[in-house]
Chain A
Amino acid sequence: MRNGDAVVELTDVRKEYSDSVALDGVSLTVLPGEAVAVMGPSGSGKSTLLNMIAGLDRPTSGSVVVQGTDLGTLGETGLALFRRRGIGMIFQFFNLLDDLSALDNVALAAQLTGTRAAQARARALELFGELGIAGRRDVYPARLSGGERQRVAVARALMNRPALLLADEPTGALDSRSGEQVMDLLLDLNQIGQTLLLVTHDERLATRCATRVIEVVDGRIAREQSLERTP
């Protein structure tokens, strides 16, 4: 089954590492505007699944199609170009570049797509304002709080208006208050149409902002459930 409109289409994806099987025949379709939460125990393959979709890693078998592009046909450089425009990523541990100020971390993403520096900074500042961190623009990541860092990471992910936003336990390293703020942010984004794939441990947060929850156990999709969001 191939859905022409799907943002993500995984077909029977298998990923083996030398000593383990991280994904064992996963098929998944994500439609535009969906907010899919991926849940499951630690080591079940959630991050691996996200990495496949981001083109950060390649499946052992099966196909990964994102926005109509079969990632298997792209080389490393092609994948990088694809990530620049098509994907925004957020990580549990932020993964900001320590050597750049908050603003530069964000602007960099746009500069990669050829946007001129001044324009990139203007757009970054706009996002900083929307995310409530305008005052922290010139601060280096080491001096930001966890919640601030994650908001900078979100801003970076949104810079190029990606068709798909991937978030790997975005609240995992945050205290509950900051975690909720970030969750609210993602919910807001989804409500204005941003397609979202989110890995989380927290069932409450998942049910609050996801339209669909997928549970991964031992590299397989064990359960799938569509939700009415609880506001």
Chain B
Amino acid sequence: MSPVWLASWAAVRKRKVQTTVIGLVVCAAGATLVMALGLLVAADAPFDRAFASQRGAHLTVAFDAREVEGADLTGGAESAGPFRQATLDTSGEETYLGTLTVVGRADPGGAVDRIPVTLGRWAERPGEIVLGVQPGARGEPGFEIAVPGGGTLTVVGFARSVTGSADAWVTPEQIDALRPTAVQMLYRFDRAGTAAEVAAGQAAVTAGLPDGAVLGSLSHLTVRDKVTSELGVFVPFLLIFGVLGLVVAVLTVANVVSSAVVAGLRQIGVLKAIGYTPDQVMAVHLVMVSVPAVAGSVLGAVIGNLFAKPVVQDAVEGFGVDALSFPAWVNVAAVAGLPLLVALAALVPALRARALPAARVIGAGTAAHTGRASRLQRRLAGTGLPRPFALGAGLPLARPGRSALTLASVVLGVMTVTLATGLALSVMAYDQAVRPSHADRLELMAGPPSGEPAFVPPGEQVPTPRLSDAGDEAALRSVPGVTAFLASARLEAELAGGAQKATITFHRGDTGELGPRVLTGHRPGRPGQVAVPSRFLNQRGLSVGDTVTVSARGGRTQLEIVGVVLTNNADEVFADWSALAALAPGARADSYQVRMAPGTDRDAVVAAVREADPGLRALPPRDSSSSTAVIIISSAVVLSLVLGAVAALGVFNTVVLNARERRRDLGLLKSIGMTPRQVTLLLVTSMGGLGVLGGLIGVPLGLAVHRVVVPAMTAAGQADVLDILLDVYQAPALALLALSGLVIAVLGAVVPARGAARLSIATVLHNE
């Protein structure tokens, strides 16, 4: 072993506490960093990655089968198809899946739009069908779907095309039985980064075809925008936590490392006296902290990977990205970057050690560690406070630089906790607003649900009411305990100007009480009016007062946007019952909602409803948390725990160093009769003040960051900023958050303080 390594290794081995603290801090920082970076990278472009790995279609075109009979549709571009395409209407069937676009395709692979099968297998024989999965959809393959006009299809698997090129796939032989009317072509172009390039590509591949040959087309950019808005919500959130984690790590490492060098001054003099060159002395101090830093960063990277992967997986799963591999540079950056950062933080004090005149450090014989006892400290000691409090409160003043670094890490810890709490509250407020659980409400199904295809589990009955719509309303209103009633009917509609679907929900009854909250404008009151969520407006560039053209069930009508409502589904709009007649004459409500008076027994109401109309089906109470909310809340909790722990480790290190420097004083205090408990109290108190101060500074900073992050998240999600999302902090919560600084400080201080208090006086004095 070289002399440098020998001295460094001895320091590493014997100063176990410092080494462990450095290792732990770097490990925690590394885990946070890997997690933040990993999540950032994942949030960056999961769609792009999925698109690339699945060779997604830049353009999906549906041609009219009769118009393109025998024509070459490849247009010189890289393509897949032609695949015959049919519409399968499953409404009215037992297993209700809505209207499915079904494509006859022998092979899920190929040059364009490779479709990963997520469960089960691809359709190999006639009579088999593979369903596209919606995020969050449940179910096992194996059930059957009835085909209108006879026959059934067995679901053999689930799959998902990255651009959603179809809702379901069957074999080319099977598609004929479904009477295909269209032909699907999937294209990849050399240039497809902009809408203009995609349009040019479309012009090229459709050149020479008769007018009306193209029934509809879908650009990958349209799909991408929509997906990005779903995941974009995570980006500001992760970004801020990543940055916070990095800053906390840097601060703590700087604190730990520079103090470690400062604490070893006498050793520096000795090394120089026996012949270490200045460069060797510097090297000893760099190596000494690099050993735990390297170990910590490797461990941190491993932990970060273990924790981050499931979160990333959760976040992107819905978009058909199944096996996500972490880019190597994230780990390389952490494993190489953190020790480098540690070495950088150590460099300044190490250079100081290098330049230190040896005679001064060893000349004094004993290590001089007077520190600076300020006037304030003496004054504190003179107050009527109990002795340990008075002495401890002044301790940080002796080391202003170290105390400032410690304070900064507490502030950042409190800031993180405050921000995380606020974000969790905001997410819950949003969820509660758009997807209220409403324990006092009862929802009843009165017909097949429409809108987004949804699975009715095999074996469950589609509700078929016995009474008429009006009869049900009268019956429900007369159930004891029911105080308000709302009927809804949903209709799938096409919005003109693109292959975009929307669900129109028609409301009847006590809309003011049970309908969605109106944020601006007013509730639609007559035919021709519609209220929409803000995301609907933002995604389509519309505003209140504009008119949209919708077609449904062959009818076509114009609706004026008269209000904005608070709901999350960007594709659901609301109209008055009176408007239903124009689009779907004779339609009845497919669901009812009633509000029960406080204290009403839910089961009794359900029983009464069943008595009145056994065909209605009561839904279980709603679970209000979305998966996005669960991910955000749980990662906020994990991240604030990690960063809070890092902050506490900063305090831990400071107390270790303070106690080490003051061990002679502490020994003296004990020799004159201070109990170990009082010594512990003294050291904990010394950090308690910093903790309180850190809380008072950190909370407002956290509030300020919350005010920036929430609007960024809602903007990314194409929603609007609402007061209910910003004003989430209540006074008691703020008081508790301010206390978190104290908690961090006390938790960090108590272990080393007890250690120092238990050190025997004899040992201390003997070693001096």
Interface residues of A (CB under 8 A from B): 47-48, 51, 54, 56-57, 76-77, 80-81, 83-85, 89, 91-93, 95-100, 104, 108-109, 111-113, 117, 140, 142, 156, 173
Contact = CB atoms under 8 A, between A and B. Distances in A.
24 contacts: A47-B359, A51-B359, A51-B363, A56-B272, A56-B357, A56-B359, A57-B357, A57-B358, A76-B277, A76-B278, A77-B278, A80-B272, A80-B276, A83-B275, A93-B366, A95-B270, A98-B14, A100-B7, A104-B6, A104-B10, A108-B6, A111-B2, A112-B3, A142-B767
Given A98-B14, A104-B6, A108-B3, 10 more contacts: A48-B359, A56-B358, A77-B279, A91-B273, A95-B273, A99-B13, A99-B14, A108-B274, A112-B274, A113-B275
Contacts of B14: 98-99, 140
Contact of B266 (A54, A95, A100, A156): A95
Contacts of A95: 266, 269-270, 273, 362
Nearest to A145: B766
Query: Interface centre among B15, B270, B273, B278, by most A CB within 10 Å?
Result: B273
Given A93-B365, A97-B7, A156 B274 contact: yes
Contact of A92 (B269, B365, B766): B365
A104 B1 CA distance: 11
A161 B359 CA distance: 23
A145 B279 CA distance: 33
Contacts of A113: 275
Interface in B262-295: 266-267, 269-280
A83 B272 CA distance: 9
Contacts of B269: 95
Interface residues of B, number: 34
A58 to B, nearest CB: 9
Nearest to A78: B277
A112 B276 contact: yes
Given A57-B357, A104-B10, A111 B270 contact: no
A83 B359 CA distance: 13
Contacts of A83: 273-275
Contacts, number: 90
B277 A108 contact: no
B629 interface: no
A97 B357 contact: no
Contacts of A85: 275
A4 to B, nearest CB: 26
B751 interface: no
A113 B271 CA distance: 13
B674 interface: no
A91 B7 CA distance: 20
Given A77-B279, A117-B1, A142-B767, A91 B365 contact: yes
Contacts of A173: 365
B747 interface: no
Interface in B1-53: 1-3, 6-7, 10-11, 13-15
Given A47-B363, A77-B279, A99-B14, A108 B7 contact: yes
Given A51-B363, A97-B10, A89 B273 contact: yes
A79 to B, nearest CB: 9
Nearest to B266: A95
Interface in B353-377: 357-359, 362-363, 365-366
Contact of A57 (B1, B266, B359): B359
B278 A80 contact: yes
Contact of B277 (A80, A89, A117): A80
Nearest to A157: B274
A205 B225 CA distance: 91
Contacts of B7: 97, 99-100, 108
A92 B279 CA distance: 27
Given A57-B359, A91-B362, A77 B277 contact: yes
Interface in B235-286: 266-267, 269-280
A100 B10 contact: yes
B221 to A, nearest CB: 63
Query: Interface centre among B275, B363, B767, by most A CB within 10 Å?
Result: B275
B726 to A, nearest CB: 54
Contacts of B358: 56-57
Contacts of A47: 359, 363
A47 B361 CA distance: 13
Interface string B751-767: 00000000000010011
Nearest to B360: A57
Interface in B284-329: none
Given A77-B277, A80-B276, A142-B766, A96 B270 contact: yes
Contacts of A81: 275, 277
A100 B7 CA distance: 8
B267 A97 contact: yes
- The 4 A-B pairs with the shortest beta carbon distances in the complex, nearest first, are A84-B275, A99-B10, A57-B359, A80-B277
Nearest to B366: A93
Interface string B156-192: 0000000000000000000000000000000000000
A227 to B, nearest CB: 28
B706 to A, nearest CB: 47
Nearest to A172: B365
A5 B766 CA distance: 44
Contacts of B359: 47-48, 51, 56-57
A56 B278 CA distance: 12
B761 to A, nearest CB: 14
Contacts of A98: 14, 267, 767
A99 B766 CA distance: 16
Nearest to A85: B275
Contacts of B266: 95
Contacts of B274: 83-84, 89, 108-109, 112, 156
Contacts of B362: 56, 91, 95
Contacts of B6: 100, 104, 108, 111
A132 to B, nearest CB: 22
A128 B295 CA distance: 37
